[in-house]
Every structure is written in structure tokens, then in C-alpha cells.
Structure 1
Amino acid sequence: MFLAWNEIKKNKLRFSLIIGVLMLVSYLVFFLSGLATGLASLNRESVDKWDATAIILSEESDKSLPQSSITTDEVDHIDGKETAILAQLNAIATNGDTKQNISLFGIDKEERIMPKVTEGKEFSKENEVIASDALKEEGFAIGDKLELSSSDEKLTIVGFTNSARFNGAPVLYSELSTFQHVKFGEAAEANGDKINGIVVYGENVSSISTSNEDLEVIEIETFIENLPGYTEQALTLNFMIYFLFGISSVIVAIFLYVLTVQKISMFGVMKAQGISNGYLSRSVIAQTFLLAFIGVTVGFVLTLTTGTFLPSAVPVAFDIPTMIFYGVVLTVVAILGAVFSVLTIVRIDPLKAIGG
């Protein structure tokens, strides 16, 4: 470690370039991980808010909530600790000044799925809704009258709740009767028992069952993974992160190999003086660790600093444990990249290196 640190201090510019590259790679990795977490949150916030075990949909829905159609009577056929009805549709809402894609949830306010109001009050009559606080950032406020693209009904925002987005769209919560009037209009009475799914609470999925063969019990995490674009989005961003791990390893390997080749004669002299391959190899590994640690730490701090200045429209959410894990992985792959330099040092013939 002493030899490694002394060389870094003596050749500041040379090693600063390596640190700078590692810092930029780690910065990109950390930012992509934050983007992956943020985009995932946009899709699943409201589902996580249910804190449920499973959801029951019609079997032909292909695990898609909007495609599922069942009736409230199915609750009687479900064996579970607790249930909550859920109806859902997508629409565009406007308050006269701003348009926004939304997801309307029809629920029973007496059931566990009812969200906690963080501002305003709960809905108490038809055409009143609780809105995701994400809509506040778009210019919506309590008391706004909302027009929906799919209905002649006008909804009034009476409260806000936090962390409520579904498949990227802010959620509006309403009584089931309000939902039916929005979706079916004049035919609401005839379709008053139509819903999309039943959220079920239990100890585990195996403890939940239904006697209706046309219904499917879906674990919540499986349901989330089948949300449109969720899995594809996560795989794309994670692939980019893993690719950057490989790039980091190659970059470090190239830099250190070039530096090692430039110092072959010096290593030859040191080996001729009796310094072992093990000592020199440990010095290179220690040097790589120091460079990677400094670069990754600076990238980590820079990423968090950048996050404080990003506008709310940028869907970035930094998960510290995940970032620390990625930082450790970057350090490890950097050390693996130093193996080529170690192998070069081991193969140095002292006599040839010093021109003997």
C-alpha cells in the first residue's frame, strides 16, 4: 500500500486521468440506477400502497387489470383474510388549464385499499375524488372541477394522497358508484356490479384461493412485472448498467497495462533486488483499489449532488443500498481489470528488463 500510494502522489496527473474515467463511469451507473428506480416507482407506487398479497383477475385478462372484467359477487367465492374491490380505467383529465393522463380507481372507502389523505378530506359523495399529489405539481388543486375525456361527468378534487401512480399515471380515487357513472354513463345502474379486480390480503399467496375457475389469483409482484413496459424498461436499464461494469473493467485494464509496460525496467530492477512477485502484485492491486475507491466515491457524491438540483419532472429516485452495492461491484471489476498487469509483472525477467 505504501508503494502504491507513493506512486500515485508522484504521478498525480497520470492517475488523475484514471480516477476521472472511473468517476464518470460510476456517475453514469449511479444515475442509471436512480433512473431505473424512479421509473419503476412511477409504475408501481399505487400498487405498493395497497400493501396486498395478491390480486384476482379474470383468467382471460392475461394478468392485465384494464383487460379484466368481473363482478362484485365474486368476493363471496374468494378464500382470503381480507378483500377489497377495485375498478380501473385510463383517461385524460383537465381542470380547464392543464391536461394530464390519469388512472381512475373505483373503490369502497370502508375497505383497506382506501388511501390515507395527506391534504384535504376523504370523498363522501358521488363525483368527489382523492388525487395523487403528483397532480399538484402539474397545477391541480383542491376544489378543481375535472373533465374526463371518456365521460360527461365532472369530478371534484377534495383531497390529495402521496405515492399514488399507476403505470406512470397519477391516480384518482373515487367511490365505485362514481366510477360506474364515469365509465358507463346512463348505463351505470345496469353495470353497477362490474369491476376489474379484487385485491386480496393474506399471509401468503398459497393461502388465497377462489372457487371460480374463470378467475386467476396473481401474486402482487407478478402483477407488477406484467404491467405494460415495466419489465422491458427495467431490463433495458439494468443491461446498460451491467454493460458499464464491463467497460469499467476494460478501461482500468488498459490504463494499468500501459503503465505497467512503461515500468518494466523498474520492476526488473526491483525483482533483481529480491522484491517478490507477490509484493509487486499486491502493490498493483492496492493501487487499483485506491484509484477505484476514490473514483467511485467522487461519482457517488456527484450523483447525489446532481439529484438535489433535478426538477421533479425527472423520474429519478436514488436507492442508497443499491448504489452502495453497485459501487462495490465497480471497485471489484476494476481490481479484476488489474489482473492483466499482475500477470505481466509475474512474467518479467529481471535480466532482460534491465538489458542484461
Structure 2
Amino acid sequence: MNLAWKEIKKNKSKFFIFGLIVLLISLLTFIIAGLANGLSQDNAALIKELPDGHFYMTTEAEDNYALSRISSTQQKELLKKYPNATALSIQMGMFHNAEGKQQSVAFVTTTESDIFPKVAAGEMIVDSSLKEEGFKIGDILTSNQFSGQWEIVGFSEQTKFNHAAVAFIHQEDFTEMYRTTDLQLLYLANEEVKTIDGLTMYSNKDFLNTIPSYSAEQLSLNMIIWFLVVISGMLFAIFFYMMNVQKIGLYGILKAIGVKTSTLFIMMWTQMLLISAIALSTSLLLIQLFQNFAPQGMPFHLTLNTTLLFAAIFLIIGFFGATLSGLQIKKVQPLQAIQQGEI
């Protein structure tokens, strides 16, 4: 530890550059991870916030919930057979208030359930993000698809779908709007029934992947995140490789006076962990500040667990990258290294 710290103080600029690189790459990774999670929440918070369970849609729909149709007769049979089940439908649409302001939403209707908000005919509960658009409790809303009107009676948290706020409406209103009593999905919370005639089962995660916009979005962003992680590992290896090449003579002298190879590895690991820990701690602080002061409309969501996970991954990759580059230390022959000249 003492030897590692002495070298850091002697070569401040080299280690500062290394720490700065780790800081910038980790910060960029955290920002993209936050945007990926934020877009994920903005796209499918309605599904992600549900308790563990399983969705069921008609097999003929071929993984497209919009094409799924569960008849009212089958609904009644299934709801009677499975008390924890909820039938629901999701349809994109829009409404406007008394001032004529239009708002795109995802209309959701469900059978009676403790999981989803309860509304009466003519009432609506909308996602709290619409508060920023000027909507408030008591507002009267209308739609070209609906002959009546709704009154906003409450706001729900974390209920967005397909990047639109969710609007919960009564089944009677939904039936008038979309001219059908058939609902699209069956949801069983905290329960798994592997076989239901005519229906295909999906876990919450599997159902998310049937949403085209969600799967395409997350795949692209996750590829960028892991590409940055791979780059960081390569930078760790390259940096320590160059450092070790420059210190071949020093390693030769240290080996000649009896310093063990394991001690040299410990010195290198200590330097890597110390610089990385400082850089990652600074990056974590900056990303928390960014999250607190990010614009309200930016879909940014990064939990502490996620940041700590990525920090741990960076440290592990750094350890292996440094170890890989340090294998040349083992091959150093004291006399040959000294003849190459000291640093």
C-alpha cells in the first residue's frame, strides 16, 4: 500500500489522467443507463409497477396484445374460476378539456380489482404526469369517441404506457368508445396457471417484450451501455499495460532486491482500486446531482442499486483488465530488465 501510494504521488499526472478517463466513461454510462431506465418507465410503468404475476392473451394474437380478444363469456368463466384474475384492455386515444386542450393518453379499463384504480361511469383517474400539463381534479373532459363526458377524480402514480399517460375509465365508457365488450388481456397477480384454453401465458417481463417500442428501445440503449463497459475494460488494460512497459526496469530492480511478484501485483491492484474508487465516487455524486436537477420532462430514472451495480462492474472489469496487463510482470527477469534502463 505504501509503495503504491508513493508511486501515485510521484506520477500524479498519469494517474490523474487515468482517473479522469474512468470518471468520464462511468458518468456517461450512468447517464445512458438512467435514460434507458427513464424511457423504460415512460414506456411501460403501468406494467413494471404491477406485482409479480402473469398476463394471458389469445394465442391467435401471436404476441400482439392489440389483436387479442377475450370474449365476455370467457371472461366471466375465468374470473369466476380464478378470484385473483383481472381482465383489462389498453387502447391509445385522446381527450380534450373545456378549453379545448387535447391530450394523447392510453385508455385503460379493468374489471374489479385491488391492483388497479376503481372508477365509476363518467369518472376518470389519470397519471400524475398530466398535472404538469395543467390538468387537475374536477376538470371535465370529452372525446370524439365518447358521447358523454368524464370528470377527473384522482391521479395515479407511475402509470404510463407507450410514452403516454394512462387514463383509467369505467368498462361501460370503454365499451361505448370501442364498440366491444371483449377485453384484451387477463392478468393473474401472484399466481401462475400454465395452461388456459386458447390463451398464451406471459410473465411481466415477457409481456414487456411484446411491446414493439419497448423492446427496440431497450435493446439499442442496453447495447450502448455494455459497449461502454467493454471499452472501459479495454482502457483499464491498455493504461496499465503502458504503465508496466515503462516500469520494466523498475520491476527488475525491485525483483533483484527481493520484492516478490505477488507484492508487485498487489501494488498494481491497490493503485487501480484507489484511483477507480475515487473516480467512481465522484461520478456517483455527479449523477445524483444530475438526477435531482434534471429537467422535469426528461425521462431519467436511476436507482441507487443500479448505480452501485455498475460501479461494482467497473471495479471488477478494472481488476481483470489490470491483472491481464500485469501478466508481463511475472515474466520480467531482473538482469534483463535492468539492462534495458531504469525509469
> TM over 0.5: same fold?
yes
Q: How many residues align?
A: 337
- Is the CA contact 1:80–1:202 (under 8 Å) kept in the aligned structure 2? no
Q: Which residue of 2 aligns with 1:119?
A: none
Among candidates 176, 193, 197, match of residue 205 of structure 1? 193
Question: Under a length normalisation based on structure 1, what TM-score does the superposition of the two structures give?
Answer: 0.86
1:27 aligned to 2:27? yes
Root-mean-square deviation (CA), in Å?
Answer: 2.3
**2:85 aligned residue (83, 86, 92):** 83
CA offset digits 1:113-166 (Å, max 9, x no partner): 432xxxxxx643x33211111111222222223343655554322211111112
Kept in 1: contact 2:252–2:332 (CA 8 A): yes
Partner of residue 118, structure 1: none
Matches within 5 A, 1:52-67: 53-67=53-67
| CA shift in 2, pair 1:2/1:205, >3 Å | farther
Q: What are the within-5 Å matches in structure 2 for residues 204-223 of structure 1? A: 204-206=192-194, 209-210=195-196, 213-223=197-207
Which residue identity is paired with 1:99?
Answer: Q
Query: Partners of 1:97 and 1:353 in 2: how far apart?
Result: 81
Q: Secondary structure at the match of 2:66?
A: coil
Alignment-derived partner of residue 313 in structure 1: 297
Letter in 2 for 1:247: I
Work out whether 1:165 is the aligned partner of 2:160.
Answer: yes
Deviation per CA, 1:50-81, whole angstroms, max 9, x where unpaired?
A: 43622332222223332212222212432424
Q: 1:48 and 1:252, CA in 2 relative to 1: closer, same or farther beyond 3 A?
A: closer
* Residues 1:227 and 2:211 aligned together: yes
2:54–2:191: 8 Å Cα contact kept in structure 1?
no
Q: 1:330 aligns with which of 306, 310, 314?
A: 314
Q: Say if 1:266 and 1:250 are closer, same or farther in 2 by CA, change over 3 A.
A: same
What is the match of residue 37 of structure 1?
37
8 A contact 2:138–2:152 mirrored in 1 = yes
Contact 2:240 2:326 in 1 (8 A): no
Return closer, same or farther for 1:163/1:340 CA change in 2, 3 Å cut-off: closer
2:199 pairs with 1:196 = no
Read off the aligned partner of 1:172 and give its amino acid letter: A
Moved more, 300-309 or 146-155: 146-155
Letter in 1 for 2:5: W
Q: Which runs of 5+ in 1 are unaligned?
A: 116-121, 185-190
Q: Which residue in the other structure is 1:148 paired with? A: 143
Alignment of 1:1-356 (within 5 A): 1-51=1-51, 53-78=53-78, 79-95=81-97, 96=99, 98-108=101-111, 110-115=112-117, 123-124=119-120, 126-148=121-143, 150-151=145-146, 153-184=148-179, 191=180, 193-206=181-194, 209-210=195-196, 213-355=197-339
Name the stretch that deviates more: 62-71 or 297-306: 62-71
Shift in Å at residue 22 of structure 1?
0.3
Cα 1:218–1:333 shift into 2, 3 Å:
closer
Q: Distance in 2 between matches of 1:161 and 1:342?
A: 55
Asked if structure 1 preserves the Cα contact closer than 8 Å seen for 2:8 and 2:15, the reply is yes
One-letter amino acid of the counterpart of residue 92, structure 1: M
Q: Which moved more, 1:251-260 or 1:15-24?
A: 251-260
Distance 1:161 1:308 in 2: 22
SS in 2 for 1:70: coil
Is the Cα–Cα contact under 8 Å of residues 91 and 149 in structure 1 kept in the other structure?
no
Change over 3 Å in CA distance of 1:88–1:343 after alignment to 2: closer
Quick one: percent identity of the two aligned structures?
A: 28
Q: Normalising by the residue count of structure 2, what TM-score does the alignment of the two structures yield?
A: 0.89
Q: Would the alpha carbon gap of residues 182 and 76 (structure 1) be closer, same or farther in structure 2, given more than 3 Å must change? A: closer
Alpha carbons of 1:342 and 1:220: their partners in 2 closer, same or farther (altered >3 Å)?
closer
8 A Cα contact 2:92 2:105, kept in partner: yes
Residues 203/195 of structure 1: CA separation in 2 closer, same or farther (3 Å cut): closer
What code does the residue aligned with 1:2 have? N
Unpaired runs of at least 5, structure 2: none
